[in-house]
Structure 1
Amino acid sequence: MDNIIDQLNEIKNELEKPIPYRDTDKIQVDFRTEFLSLSDEEDCLTGDFNNYCMNIAGSLSYVLAGKTNKVPQGQIEMLQKSFFDSFKQYKFFEDKIEIYNDFFREYKNFEKTRTLLLHLLSK
């Protein structure tokens, strides 16, 4: 458990970077046709990614404050899904995500954190 906490402490600073707006804008331009086919409720990439990241960051703050048992069950349930599982409407660019360096780096950092949190919270 201490090893996971150490890893989470190390990655914490990486998670405090701003959302990669340039990349989310570029994704929306590059996949314009796909985004146009989404309903207004489904078409909010930046907001959806922000919500996804904030759930992970919020759960992390509970854990690092020593309040693992206080993480709300709803947050834990949300942690069980990756971004593309939570927001299936964006699956069309999942296999091209590496092209968008800042977005991909941010995504990988939050995915690593999400996975570590799940390991810790499942114990």
Structure 2
Amino acid sequence: MDSVIQKLKNINLDNPFPYRDTDKIQADFQYDFLKLTDDKNSLVGDFNTYCMNIAGTLSYVLAGKTSKIPQRQIEILKFSFFSWFQQYMFIQDKISDYVEFSRE
């Protein structure tokens, strides 16, 4: 367990948000984004939500407060970004073209 905690401590959460890639994704797939309803068209917000769930959960683990992690938060960790936000599936096969976004 100590090796897992050490690996988690080594995760760098200080990377800048991949705005250049999200802007490029939205430009490259502008017609696909136009097909989405307003309530389903917030790539930056949705990706931020996804990343914040991971970072928030990690902060509980590193603080030794795993019993305080909300169950819903744990359940969401089981999903990939594209599983959680299925409206963006149209970019999944091209995600490797956006290095910073893909890395995050």
TM-score range, shorter-chain basis? over 0.9
SS, match of residue 67 in structure 2: helix
* Amino acid corresponding to residue 8 of structure 2 in structure 1: L
Q: Does 1:72 align with 2:70?
A: yes
Q: Does 1:7 align with 2:7?
A: yes
- Corresponding position of 2:102: 104
What TM-score, normalized by structure 1, do the two folds share? 0.82
What displacement does 1:80 show? Answer: 1.2
* Amino acid corresponding to residue 73 of structure 1 in structure 2: Q
Alignment of 1:1-123 (within 5 A): 1-11=1-11, 14-106=12-104
**Structure 2 unpaired stretches of 5+:** none
SS, match of residue 24 in structure 2: helix
% identical equivalent positions: 62
Distance 1:96 1:15 in 2: 24
Q: Which runs of 4+ in 1 moved over 6 A?
A: none
- Of 49-58 and 16-25, deviating more is 16-25
What displacement does 1:58 show? Answer: 0.4
**Structure 1 unpaired stretches of 5+:** 107-123
* Amino acid corresponding to residue 2 of structure 1 in structure 2: D
What is the aligned-residue RMSD (CA, Å)? 0.7
Distance 1:105 1:75 in 2: 22
